[in-house]
Structure formats: structure tokens, C-alpha cells
Structure 1
Amino acid sequence: MTKKVGVIGGGQLAWMMAQVAPQEDIHLLVQTPSHNDPAVSLATKTIFAAIDDPQATAQLALDCDVITFENEFVNLLELQKLADQGVCFYPRLSSLSPLLDKYEQRCFLQNQGLPVPNFKAYESLDDFNSFSFPLVLKARRHGYDGQGTMIVNSSTELKAILAKFDGIPLLIEEFIPFDRELAIIGVRSVTGEIKIYPVVETYQQNQVCRWVIAPTRLTEIQQENINSIVEKLLIALDYVGVLGIELFLTKNGEILVNETAPRTHNSGHYTLDACYTSQFAMQLQAITGKKLGNIELKSSGAVMVNLLGFEVAYSDYQEKRAKIAQMGAFVHWYGKNESRWGRKLGHATMLLTKNTPEEIDQQGKLIAQQIESIWFDTPLSYIREL
């Protein structure tokens, strides 16, 4: 029987969900503000409204069996009124509640006994006394793709940032001199079934993800530790759907939880082409009560490179995309008509052929450099220095 799933948000995450919806026998409806948002072109129906407009969500609910989320910019208090009237949201609003504010999320993670960097809510300058430079400041709400996350190196920088973010609630946390940044996608269905994708390495620059390599090199103990963290979080939250988790691997081999994202996640885009069941299909399966699919990789590994805006322009970069595709990559273009610095315009995924973890890592990084050299129209030697 065909299910109708509503998505609050119409960006590229909803667009990729809409791509796989037909094979899951699902009609996808979206609530999004702009006719130019990526998912509009594939959605069965679109409610054009702000994503935090509860009246629009009530209208969306009239045509849906269940509603899910593309982002965290929602008004839980207003949505709870709809839930009280019988509207079904997955993930549950009670699952989202401890995660939307970064300080409250950190407190929740810590209360679950999970390892996290030292942190504190910013209320006065005295709160910085227990931290040293460099330190990290984060906006507690509405940060994404590095926006609202700042690495602060001096008291002069701190003064300027606090003036810029005056009146905005902030989280202070210690800076972790990590060996690698990691991420993992966990899934839990309505029935309680759990699947966990491979741990990946993510490379960030200016707090924006440049590329992802799956799987990453880990010891057996580290892998078991991360899987245990994922399962514990999914159960503690009574979570339904896809949950993205970002982690640090410290230089002494310790695993720390950085942040969680209660939705499909950029670090899991490689699953569209590299896994038998993508994170987007898994999201739809989980929230509609289906048996979860096969999450195994189709090859020994994969590399995913974000195609990021590097100028202010109106272009579809067709020539660059064609060159990347000629390498054997799967190129996904989100259909955004405006490029700006750091904006995610698309991504490219390439399956890897090497066998050992070390070889997979080397091959993945080389391909990422080659794709970025084409995309940024920059000599490969320069890309390697970044």
C-alpha cells in the first residue's frame, strides 16, 4: 500500500529522499518556502510556506501518514499541538527535544555517560576562565555547515565575536586537537530494528565538510566503541529514523562525541551510490515501519566530495561536472541556481577498488584531490597543500 510521507524542508536532503521514494512505494510531500528549492521538482505535492509555519504543517498533515524533517529549524511547541491532535512525527518530537539546542544536546550526551569535550553555556566572561585558547564557540540554535561555529584563538578575537553575537545564546567548548574527524549514520525503525553504517572520515575546512572516505581506519575496539555509542543514543532517545553523529578521534586514540543531527546527514551521501540501501531510502523505510534494507558497501570503499560554491555566480557548471563524471564518478547536482562561497551545490561519489584500510585511505584522498582540482580549477599540487 502506498504511503504518503511529508517532509518539513525542501532542500537537497528532501530532494534525495524524493529520488528514492518511488522505489519504496511512497509519495513524498514537502513544506518549503521557495519554488526554487531542490525537492519541489520531484515532490508529489508542495506546501509553499516557511518551515516553522505550524498552519502550513497542519495543512501538510491532512495528506500524510507521517511527517519527518530535513533540518532542525522547527518550532517544537507549535508542532506539539499538532502531535496532541494525532499528527504523527518521526523522529518523535520528544526525541528531537534534547538535541536542537547544542548546549542541551551536550548535557544529554553527558548524562548518557558518553564522552564529550569539556563545555559550558556562555552567560558571562567568567565562564571562559576554565578554558584556554584556542577554544570553540557555537551558536546554540540554527547552526549548520559551519555557520555559527567559530574557533577563537585570542582574547582579541573573542571580544570581536562576542560583540557580533551579542544577544545570541552561545556554547563554549574546549578545542580538540584531533587526529581525525569521524561520522557515522545510525538508523532505528518504528519496530525497534537498528542498522549502523560504516564509520567514515570527514575532512572539514572552515567548518564545512569537503570530502568523506568510507570506511575509515579504526581498531576493532574503536569500531565497537562507536557502534555502542550509536546504539545507546538511538535507544535512549526512543529514536525513529536516521541519526547522524559526528565524532573526534583524538591523537591518543580516544573517541569523543561532537554533535548529532536528527536527520539524514551530509556524511552519508556516499550511501546513494556505494551502499545497497542509501540513508535516504533507510529514512523512509524506518518511519513507515518497513524492514530495514542492506547497508553493506558495494565495493571496498567510497569517497564523496562536496561540490562547494567558490564564487558568487549563476551557473550550472556543466563542463566541470562532465569532467568529474568522466573520471567514473556519480555526480549529483542539486539544481540550485545561485552559487555562493561554501554553498553545497552538489556532490560526487566514486567507488574505491583497493583492499587494505591504508590503501583505501590513500586512494580516496587522491581521488578527492583530483575531483577538487577540476572543480576549483586549481592545480593538483595546490589542492594537496590545503
Structure 2
Amino acid sequence: MAPLPPGSTLGILGGGQLGRMLSQAAARLGFDVVILDPEENSPAGRVSRGQIVAAYDDPTALNVMGRVCDLVTFEFENVPAASIETLAGGGALVAPGPTALSTAQDRVVEKTFLNAVGATTVDFAAVDSLDDLTAAVTRLGLPALLKTRRDGYDGKGQAWIRTAKQAAAAWKAIGEVPAILEAKADFTRELSIIAARGRDGTIAVYPLGQNHHAGGVLATTLAPAAVDTKTDTRARAIAAAVLEGLDYVGVIGIELFDLGHGTLLVNEIAPRVHNTGHWTQDGCVCDQFEQHIRAVAGWPLGPTTAHARVEMTNLLGEAVNAWPALAAEPDARLHLYGKAEARPGRKMAHVNRVKPLFSVGAKRTGRGPVS
């Protein structure tokens, strides 16, 4: 397709913080944005041209969005894949497509796909009953992590099983719904890679980030991570395999377990801009949000070379009340999400602390888009 010109209207399914930052990036490129979200006066809706207040699967709302928008994308992977199929079936241009969304929404389908394209994961087993779980525990060994096949994020919908006697309680804890049992990964650290694929097949990959989680929620990302060439090369190969395997258009986040010596396992993929990519807002010329808009709109992909070292910290709940002190830090860049209520564990903002990437006289290296 021809690149969408400035002045075109983009639709975003989802009105949270990712939709808000996507909308702001789109505005910088001259696009108008319409949000579809069931929450009135959503964070993204308040910085956009308009918002359709309706459920994500509302047929009338989807019809309106398809008619008023030149292209539709989404901000999170729990948007019903059927809604994307409805939009596409009605003639709307949608990116990423429904295949990527449906793949990421089912953890068994996701891991099956990843291994098929050579992006290795931990060993796993589908679980539909307590008998299935008992058999899976015997095959995979313990400890192992039980997760719901669908939904669940930031540590929700999962339970560790450390002894065979805990299996029944874990099955009950996740609601006795279709699930996946994952073998434990003996990793040294958690990494992630943010990558994009354009409509012409061009791929752009950002430097790896090193992540720390607390209570199942991302706490910090440090990027660019200190990695050797073998690890960097392997991560880029994984990103390319996933993007091409899904015929993907847009930005994707890929979470990785680093086992050392260049061996990486994929934890999961997110078919959208990603929390671990927030560092790019202050560490790269073209951040992940602008990159996504460029990709879906058919524009050339932007440069991904880091010009600063960034530590991104999530601000959860009342931690956002420290904004006056954070705003006073000379090296801190505060990104507030415009959410009214600071509930415990709710992502309210993030702060990027920016440090020089290179010492005086150091050699600068980096990579941008590749064919």
C-alpha cells in the first residue's frame, strides 16, 4: 500500500497508557486519532481527536471505527481477535493482523508457534483437567509454573507448583480453566527485545533491555543491556523469525530468558508496543511508539540506535505521588499516564533516568533498520 499521508485518521482499540503514548506519537507525525474504549474519558481518549465509548466487540462501534479511520491498530493483546477480524472483513486496514493477536492470546498456541519458527521456549504441556496437570507434573518435573491459557498478565492467573501435593491447590487457584504448565527456566537474567517490521518487510531492532520484576510486575528496565555479540545476534535472529513467521506489521515486544553463553529462551511475545520498550522514548531518536505508527502507516522505519543509557522505572499506585521530586531530578524524564485513581499495583507512570551512553573518546557503534 502507499504510505498514509499526514492528515489521515488512525484508530486505536484500547484507551490506556499505551494507547495514549501511541496517540501522542501519531499526532507528532500529523495523524488524527480515534480511540475505542469502554471507559469514558480514557487516558488515550483525552489526548486524541475523539473516542468511541463502547465494548471492543460492539458491532456498531466497530463499523463506525472502520468507516471513519484509514487504519486501525490496538494497544494491548486482550482485545478480542474477532474484533480485528470483523474490522478486516468490513474492508478496514488493520495492523498487526488477527493472526498475531490470536497467537499471543493463547499460551499453548503461542509456544507451539515459537518453537515451530526456531524461537525456543521452555518445555510445556497443555492442561485441561487435574488429571492432565498430574501427568504434566510427572513429565516436566518440579518446580513448574501453571498459567491460564488465556488472559492473565503482570503475574495474575498463575501459580507455582513446587511439590506434587500442591498441584490440586494450584489448579483451583487459577480457576480450573484451560491452562499451560511450563517447566522452570534456569536463567541468569531476564532480557527483552523490541522490534518492528514494516509493510515492505523491512525489520528494525532496538538494543536489548535487561529487566527486573517484582511481584510478577515489571519494576525496571536497563538499556542498552550489556550483552555479548553471540547473545545479541541470537536475540535479533529470534525477533526476525517471529516477525516473519507472523507476517507481522508494527512493533512487537519479545521477553527472553538468558541462560548464558548466547542461549536464549522466549518467555512470551506481545503484539504491541511494550513496557520494556519505554526506555526508547528518551534513549533513541525514534521511540517504539513512533516506530509502531511508522510501520502500520507504511512509512519508512526509523533509526533504532541508542544515544543514551536509560533506566526505566515503573511507578505503581501511590508511588506516582513522588512526581514533584522526580520532576526535579535533572536526569529524570517523567511520563505520566493521566489516570485519576492511584490503585495499588496500577501502572500510573514511568520515569526514565538518562545517562551518557559513551565515555569521551569511546567508539560509537549501532544498528538501524535492516532488510
Do these two structures clear the TM 0.5 threshold for a shared fold by scoring above it? yes
CA apart distance, 1:156? 4.4
Distance in 2 of aligned mates of 1:150 and 1:55:
39
- 1:251, 1:94 → 2: CA distance? 32
> 1:222 is paired with a residue of what secondary structure?
helix
Question: Aligned-pair distance for 1:154?
Answer: 3.0
Whether 1:186 aligns to 2:195 is yes
* Aligned equivalent of 1:142, options 144, 151, 155: 151
Shift of 1:203: 0.3
Give the superposition deviation at 1:52.
3.2
Q: Which range is displaced more, 244-253 or 178-187?
A: 244-253
Alpha-carbon distance, 1:119 to partner: 0.5
Match of 1:371 in 2: none
Whether the 8 Å CA contact 1:65–1:88 is kept in 2: the answer is yes
Q: Secondary structure at the match of 2:345?
A: coil
Q: 1:227-283: CA deviations, max 9, x gaps? A: 011011111111000010000001565211110000000000111121101111111
2:239 — aligned with what?
A: 230
Residues of 2 paired with 1:270 and 1:24: CA distance? 20
1:37 equivalent in alignment to 2:42? yes
Deviations 1:152-190 (CA, angstroms, capped at 9, x unpaired)? 323444322211333421110011131110001110111
Secondary structure at 2:242 match in 1: helix
- How many Å apart are 1:354 and its aligned residue? 5.7
Q: 1:155 to 1:54 in 2, by over 3 A?
A: farther
- Name 2:328's counterpart in structure 1: 326
Query: Are 2:230 and 2:262, in contact at CA under 8 Å, matched by a contact in 1?
Result: no
Q: Which residue of 1 aligns with 2:365?
A: none
Q: In structure 2, what residue type is equivalent to 1:230?
A: A
Contact 1:36–1:336 (Cα < 8 Å) also in 2? no
> Residue 363 of structure 2 corresponds to which residue in structure 1?
none
| Structure 2 residue aligned with 1:280 | 289
Alpha-carbon shift at residue 35 of structure 1 (Å) = 2.0
Q: Matched residue of 1:235: which SS?
A: helix
**Which residue is 1:93 aligned to?**
98
Matching residue of 2:313: 305
Between the aligned partners of 2:41 and 2:162, the Cα distance in structure 1 is: 39
Q: Where in structure 1 are there 5+ consecutive unaligned residues? A: 357-386
CA distance, structure 2, for counterparts of residue 12 and residue 102 of structure 1: 24
Cα distance in 2 for partners of 1:17, 1:288 equals: 13
Instruction: Quote the offset at 1:194 in angstroms.
Output: 1.1
What are the within-5 Å matches in structure 2 for residues 6-155 of structure 1? 6-123=11-128, 124=132, 125-155=134-164
Residue type at the aligned position of 2:324: A
Give the alignment partner of residue 295 of structure 1, picking from 304, 312, 315.
304
Number of paired residues? 349
Counterpart Cα distance in 1 of 2:215 and 2:160? 9
Aligned residue identity for 2:34: L
Where 1:62 maps in the other structure, the secondary structure is helix
Pair 1:52–1:158, CA change in 2 (3 A): farther
**Superimposed CA distance per residue, residues 311-370 of structure 1 (whole angstroms, 9 cap, x where no aligned partner):** 9xxxx61xx1121222220011112122223211100001112648xxxxxxxxxxxxxx
> Which consecutive unaligned segments of at least 5 residues does structure 2 have?
360-371
TM-superposition CA deviations, 1:5-59 (whole Å, max 9, x none): 1000000000011122222111111101112421111011100012233432221
Whether the 8 Å contact between 2:146 and 2:179 is mirrored in structure 1 is yes
Summarize the Cα distance change of 1:269–1:3 in structure 2 as closer, same or farther, 3 Å threshold: same
Q: Report sequence identity in percent.
A: 34
Matching residue within 212, 217, 222 for 1:203: 212
1:349 maps to 2:359: no
Q: Which residue, out of 3, 6, 15, partners 2:8?
A: 3
2:338 match: 335
| Contact 1:52–1:73 (Cα < 8 Å) also in 2 | no
Secondary structure of the equivalent of 2:136? helix
Specify the code of the residue in structure 2 equivalent to 1:177.
Answer: D
TM, length-normalised to structure 1: 0.86
Aligned equivalents of 2:178, 2:149: Cα separation in 1: 6
Structure 1 window deviating more from structure 2 (46-55 vs 187-196): it is: 46-55
Return the letter of the residue paired with 1:302: V
Partner of 1:174: 183
Distance 2:189 2:158 in 1: 18
With 280-289 and 324-333 compared, the bigger mean Cα shift is at 324-333
Amino acid at match of 1:111: A
> TM-score w.r.t. structure 2 length?
0.89
Give 1:310 deviation, angstroms.
5.6
CA RMSD of aligned residues (A): 1.8
Residue 60 of structure 1 aligns to a residue in which SS? helix
The CA distance in 2 between the partners of 1:96 and 1:258, in whole Å, is 16
Once the two structures are superposed, the pairs formed by residues 202-281 of structure 1 within 5 Å of their partners are 202-251=211-260, 253-281=262-290
Task: In structure 1, give the amino acid aligned to 2:65.
Answer: L
Distance 1:146 1:276 in 2: 32
